Amino acid sequence: MSGSSSLLRDLLNISARTVKLDERLDDPKILSNLLGESRRLGLSEEFCRRLLGLLIEEKEKVKGVVEGEDGLRLRRFAARAMELRKAGRRIVRLELGEPDFSASEKIVEAACEAIREGRTKYSSAAGLRELKEELASNLSSKYGVDLKAENIAITAGGTLATYAAIEVLSRPGDSIMVIEPAWPLYAHQIKRLGRRVVRVRTRVEDGWDPVEAVREKVSRLVKIIILNYPNNPTGKVLDRKSFKALLDLAEDYDLWVVSDEVYIDFSYNGEAPSILEYNYPKMYYLNSFSKTWGMTGFRVGFVAADPEIAKRVSGVLSTVMTCVPEFIQRAALAALRDEESKKRNVELIGRRLKVLYEELSRSKLIELIPPEGAMYVFPKIKAEGFSSWNFAEKLLEKEGIAVAPGKCFGEPYDDHLRISAVVDEAELRDAARRIVKAVEERIWRKDDA
Amino acid sequence: MSGSSSLLRDLLNISARTVKLDERLDDPKILSNLLGESRRLGLSEEFCRRLLGLLIEEKEKVKGVVEGEDGLRLRRFAARAMELRKAGRRIVRLELGEPDFSASEKIVEAACEAIREGRTKYSSAAGLRELKEELASNLSSKYGVDLKAENIAITAGGTLATYAAIEVLSRPGDSIMVIEPAWPLYAHQIKRLGRRVVRVRTRVEDGWDPVEAVREKVSRLVKIIILNYPNNPTGKVLDRKSFKALLDLAEDYDLWVVSDEVYIDFSYNGEAPSILEYNYPKMYYLNSFSKTWGMTGFRVGFVAADPEIAKRVSGVLSTVMTCVPEFIQRAALAALRDEESKKRNVELIGRRLKVLYEELSRSKLIELIPPEGAMYVFPKIKAEGFSSWNFAEKLLEKEGIAVAPGKCFGEPYDDHLRISAVVDEAELRDAARRIVKAVEERIWRKDDA
């Protein structure tokens, strides 16, 4: 037997013993000891992190840890709502994170003009210079910072911006912190890229403040923390004190902070804080044109970060899909110049969130915070036997109202619902009243028969 | 010290000894022995593959193996060509894989109509049913197979189709075979996704036939082989005998075959064979609208595979960018129905390839195969001291002609050039003559002064 064969067998043997131990492998002390050992042995830190990640994953596999796929289930649920509507039923659809308003005439015409002008060839993965300059200048003047085009990367929406964040700022086996309840795609992307999710739980009883929960769970194993304020699904806007406290914690542990600010324009208690205000050294800001301008189906967003990071984000875009179509970037440029439709859209959502709060807070069985931002409310239902999937399914079939079950946003939120402010006020008020009635009547107790 | 700490230290110690050994770790026998051992120990095959992959990577790192980034360098070179043109010089640009023709009026109008109709909201990651049905029906009647919409996934161009292939059909640490010369993005995507590239070298002297070279290098370590015929950069079309021989080999080793057929319409010796003809069990077909219809900047392509695989490809699309804009898919649908512009584009490229061959084959210093397909010729320059980067740079600065250095398509091809048939015949003939002259005059010997 060759030397390597025998060593490799030893490696497998010891690996098997390690994963069968009852001890936790994700204790930060273990990693820091191992990193020291690696350096001493001339192995890279990355090797060490990935080896440990591999063992932790294998341990979970051996122990049969299986994660829910409630995010995917929501898609099937939305398809069911669509189906019922197509079959002729009147369905109020409040289950998705898509505004009902569409891109303005100006945006539409800019896209068509660009297509007709033949702006349909390969373009730079780095994105259109003009668009990046305008974004940099807007952000600079809004937040009193000094961003240049080189700090900006154009992406295919917020989705590619978070995917690229994970790809660029961490390596397989690394841990990434997600504050729950959360958009389910974060965890999904993290896992697809072979990284590990560290979940932090926040509670409506604490007004969704995450600082203490993060403090308890943060460790040197974590490479990135993802923030999303104004928050999907809770509607929480972080106050400046909490934002600063989170960044201080992040700095203590040398974390990258990915701040997903796709709802930043939808802030209803004054301007929501942005990571751009804090001069945080390992900062990754992302935003999208999807929500503010009703451009969900255009797939265009952007990142602001250190020029080297922005360049690597464009590298991910290039690897995955070559470039964002130039005519779509031209539409985005037109959106930036269409302050009017932005203002109208933001006011519209704000009025609707008030309506939802007014109606839902009438019930003693429902607990929720007054709306601060984003496009959602995330009430907790305090009634025995309530389960978010069961309720949502019954509500759809019996009342023709679709809402998103809380469990989609994290295992512990099965007593919550996410309701999107994406239909007009009168319809929304009526739907909210019927939701309250369904809760008070405890429809989950009734048989389907 | 806890039990796991001590075991983990042992793991690192043995890892360090393993990577310092002079033996190869990528011998297929090693893997197959280890897989047996893993099963016996109750570890997953995946753990075993990834552990070995991690060690191989670390070994390369320790030994300082660094790969060229000629693909990226080509981009900078193209940017230089663009810069010279902007500065007022007449530059003939033959360095990129982008046709000069654009999307037809019908395609453009279909896109604009869809945008105006408000088809600008989130759409299904699975893609537009109508488009998938038409693709399935076209492929079925062309190749005498029975594909349904469920076999098709819509992607953001060929780029996302190959990225998804790697993500879906292999795991980190797996090996993927690439036949060189090759489009540099394959290797780049493979490495970004933490897989390993196994390179197979083909030669103009063998008429670029890959069968023997693949036979020599294939092993049980390989999970996927990527085929790309008609080929970029060589223009080679595989004959049916060689195609079948490759598939037989692939079947022997239980490989997934990813067949990148983005140039399949550009076949000039009768119909080029497609993987769809062979009923290969682990088949992954991909194509794009980019080349045939001049739609490079639209970013739309498609995959045909088993329904379960197609679904997982849509899962990757969803994870990375949510969906392909519906209005872009509507433009693709219009392209499918525009046979006329397809025919015109294909004939145009065919005539130009003949021109390139006629002119280049006049020189005894240049060896190339008669054009069979795709949009390129890939001549070998048989002259002492020739280096593809040096020549390309001198040719651009002195003659105002940009071509792609052979080295971009694989380390061994520094004595080749890729020339794209993307300008009109008269200009192309003149450029080809000037390239021949530059070769005969051995411009690489001349000083820049």
**Residue of A10, A160, A322, A328 to mutate for B, most B C-beta atoms under 10 A:** A322
- A254 in B contact zone (CB under 8 Å): no
pLDDT for A446 equals 77
pLDDT for B449 equals 43
Predicted confidence (pLDDT) at residue A316 exceeds the cutoff of 90 = yes
CA dist., res. A204 & res. A107, Å (int)? 38
**A80, A400 contact by CB (below 8 A):** no
pLDDT tens digits, residue range A130-173?
Answer: 999 999 999 999 999 999 999 999 999 999 999 999 999 998 87
Close Cβ partners of A144 (under 8 Å, ≥ 6 residues apart): A277
Beta B283-288 vs B366-367: how paired, if at all?
Answer: unpaired
Q: Give the CA angle between residues B202, B205, B206 to the nearest 5°.
A: 60
CA dist., res. A266 & res. A29, Å (int)? 41
How far is residue A22 from each of residues A25, A199, B3, B4, B7, measured CA to CA in Å?
9, 21, 10, 9, 13
- Beta sheet of A376-377, edge-to-edge order: A376-377, A417-420, A404-405
Residue A227's nearest CA partner among A256, A206, A195 is A256
Cα B370 off chain centre by: 21
Residue numbers of A between 359 and 388 with CB closer than 8 Å to B? none
CB contact under 8 Å between A120 and B297, yes or no, is: yes
DSSP character for B187?
A: H
Residue A285's nearest CA partner among A386, A145, A175 is A145
Residue numbers of B between 73 and 112 with CB closer than 8 Å to A? 96, 98, 102-103, 108, 111-112
Q: How confident is the model over A243-256, as a mean pLDDT? A: 97
Beta B366-367 vs B380-381: how paired, if at all?
Answer: antiparallel
Mean pLDDT of chain B: 93
CB contact under 8 Å between A325 and B38, yes or no, is: no
Find, in chain B, the residue whose alpha carbon is nearest to that of A21: B4
pLDDT for A29 equals 82
Indicate the residue of B3, B5, B296 with minimum beta-carbon distance to A122: B296
Predicted confidence (pLDDT) at residue B39 exceeds the cutoff of 50 = yes
Tokens of B140: 């079925």
Contacts 24+ apart (CB under 8 A), A87-91: A89/A400, A90/A400, A91/A396, A91/A400, A91/A401, A91/A402
**A38, B11 contact by CB (below 8 A):** no
Find, in chain A, the residue whose alpha carbon is nearest to that of B194: A172
Residue numbers of B between 25 and 54 with CB closer than 8 Å to A? 25, 30, 33-34, 37-38, 41-44, 47-48, 50-52, 54
Q: B75: pLDDT confidence band, cut at 50, 70 and 90? A: confident
CB contact under 8 Å between B25 and A18, yes or no, is: no
How far is residue A305 from each of residues A149, A150, A276, B425, measured CA to CA in Å?
10, 9, 9, 46
Cβ neighbours of B11 in A, within 8 Å: 11, 14-15, 18, 51, 55
pLDDT tens digits, residue range A173-230?
Answer: 789 999 999 999 999 999 999 888 999 999 999 999 999 999 999 988 899 999 999 9
pLDDT tens digits, residue range A64-87?
Answer: 655 656 767 888 898 899 899 999
CB contact under 8 Å between B12 and A43, yes or no, is: yes
- A49-58, A280-289, B176-185, B362-371 — which is least confidently predicted? A49-58
The H or E element that residue B4 is part of is: helix B3-20
Cβ neighbours of A317 in B, within 8 Å: none
Close Cβ partners of B55 (under 8 Å, ≥ 6 residues apart): A8, A11, B15, B18, B19, B25
Close Cβ partners of A46 (under 8 Å, ≥ 6 residues apart): A171
CB contact under 8 Å between B320 and A5, yes or no, is: no
CB contact under 8 Å between A156 and B25, yes or no, is: no
Residue numbers of A between 146 and 175 with CB closer than 8 Å to B? 156-157, 159-160, 163, 167, 172
pLDDT for A449 equals 44
**Residue of A1, A10, A15 to mutate for B, most B C-beta atoms under 10 A:** A15
Cβ neighbours of B9 in A, within 8 Å: 33-34, 37
CA dist., res. A111 & res. A325, Å (int)? 10
In this structure, what is the dihedral angle of CA atoms A72, A74, A76, A82, given to the nearest 10 degrees? -150
Give the other-Cβ count within 10 Å of A350's Cβ: 16
pLDDT for B79 equals 87
Tokens of A35: 């990193």
AA identity, residue B408? C
**Residue with structure tokens 């191989």?**
B56
CB contact under 8 Å between B194 and A188, yes or no, is: no
pLDDT for B1 equals 52
The H or E element that residue A152 is part of is: strand A152-155
pLDDT for A22 equals 85
**Domains annotated on chain B, with CATH:** 13-63 (no CATH), 70-96+341-445 (3.90.1150.10), 105-337 (3.40.640.10)
**Residue with structure tokens 């301008």?**
A293
pLDDT tens digits, residue range B375-431?
Answer: 999 999 999 999 999 999 999 999 999 999 999 999 999 999 999 999 999 999 999
CB contact under 8 Å between B115 and A108, yes or no, is: yes
Cβ neighbours of B111 in A, within 8 Å: 112, 115
In this structure, what is the dihedral angle of CA atoms A343, A347, A349, A354, given to the nearest 10 degrees? 160
CA dist., res. B65 & res. B19, Å (int)? 13
Predicted confidence (pLDDT) at residue B66 exceeds the cutoff of 60 = no
**Residue with structure tokens 């980019």?**
B290
Residue B127's nearest CA partner among B164, B72, B93 is B164
Tokens of B270: 């009768």
Cα A11 off chain centre by: 38
pLDDT for A447 equals 65
Residues of chain A above pLDDT 70, percent: 97
CB contact under 8 Å between B12 and A298, yes or no, is: no
Predicted confidence (pLDDT) at residue B74 exceeds the cutoff of 90 = no
AA identity, residue A38? S
> How distant is the Cα of B123 from the closest Cα of chain A, in angstroms?
7
Residues of chain A above pLDDT 90, percent: 82
**Complex-level ipTM:** 0.91
Cβ neighbours of B4 in A, within 8 Å: 18, 21, 23, 25, 30
pLDDT tens digits, residue range A354-373?
Answer: 999 999 999 999 999 999 99
Rounded to 10 deg, the angle between the A3-20 and B28-41 helix axes is 30
CB contact under 8 Å between B16 and A43, yes or no, is: yes
Q: How confident is the model over B101-118, as a mean pLDDT? A: 97
Residue A101's nearest CA partner among A422, A332, A330 is A422
Find, in chain A, the residue whose alpha carbon is nearest to that of B326: A297
| Length of chain B (residues) | 449
Give the torsion sign (CA, B132, B133, B136, B139): negative
Residue A440's nearest CA partner among A367, A360, A365, A389 is A365
Cβ neighbours of B116 in A, within 8 Å: 108, 112
> How distant is the Cα of A37 from the closest Cα of chain B, in angstroms?
7
Close Cβ partners of A379 (under 8 Å, ≥ 6 residues apart): A360, A366, A367, A368, A416, A417, A419
Indicate the residue of A111, A319, A328 with minimum beta-carbon distance to B188: A319
Phi-psi region of A322 (alpha: psi -120 to 50; beta: other; left: phi over 0): left
Cβ neighbours of B108 in A, within 8 Å: 115-116, 120
pLDDT for B4 equals 85
Task: Indicate yes or no: pTM above 0.90.
Answer: yes
Rounded to 10 deg, the angle between the B3-20 and A3-20 helix axes is 160
pLDDT tens digits, residue range A83-118?
Answer: 999 999 999 999 999 999 999 999 999 999 999 999
CA dist., res. A326 & res. B98, Å (int)? 15
pLDDT for A68 equals 59
CA dist., res. B236 & res. B228, Å (int)? 9
pLDDT for B68 equals 59
Mean pLDDT of chain A: 93
pLDDT for A26 equals 78
Q: How confident is the model over B19-30, as a mean pLDDT? A: 84
CB contact under 8 Å between A12 and B96, yes or no, is: no
Q: How confident is the model over A414-421, as a mean pLDDT? A: 98
